[in-house]
């Protein structure tokens, strides 16, 4: 299998995991913090695990420019969640 084929297979798996598991949960967490709530331990653990997972897949996204926009949007979503969560912690 060539490097391009490996990247394609890995990116397909990463996208499937993102769309089926990560993104729905991230959007639910964003709604949670946008409502003024604090993150619970389970949500913090999920975010931490998801960020570690994203770091490990970063090399594949970097080599495939067609996924740069998706990667940037996911990073922005994490940033929005963390920023709002910090605001909520400071307010409560």
Question: What sign results for the dihedral spanned by CA atoms 44, 79, 15, 27?
Answer: positive
Give the burial class of 39: count Cβ atoms within 10 A of its Cβ; 0-12 exposed, 13-18 middle, 19 or more buried: buried
Note the pLDDT of residue 29: 98
Note the pLDDT of residue 92: 76
pLDDT digits (tens, 9 = 90+) for 21-71: 999 999 999 999 999 999 999 999 999 998 888 888 788 778 888 888 888
Closest by CA position to 22, among listed 55, 1, 53, 68: 53
Crossing angle between the packed helical segments 23-34 and 68-91, to the nearest 10 degrees? 30
75: Cβ–Cβ under 8 A, 6 or more apart, which residues? 54
């Amino acid at each position: 299998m060539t490097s391009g084929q490996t990247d394609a297979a890995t990116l397909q798996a990463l996208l499937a995991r993102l769309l089926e598991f990560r993104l729905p949960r991230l959007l639910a967490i964003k709604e949670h913090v946008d409502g003024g709530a604090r993150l619970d331990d389970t949500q913090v653990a999920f975010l931490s695990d998801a960020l570690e997972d994203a770091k490990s897949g970063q090399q594949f996204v970097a080599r495939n420019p067609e996924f740069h926009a998706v990667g940037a949007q996911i990073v922005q979503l994490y940033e929005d969640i963390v920023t709002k969560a910090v605001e909520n912690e400071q307010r409560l």
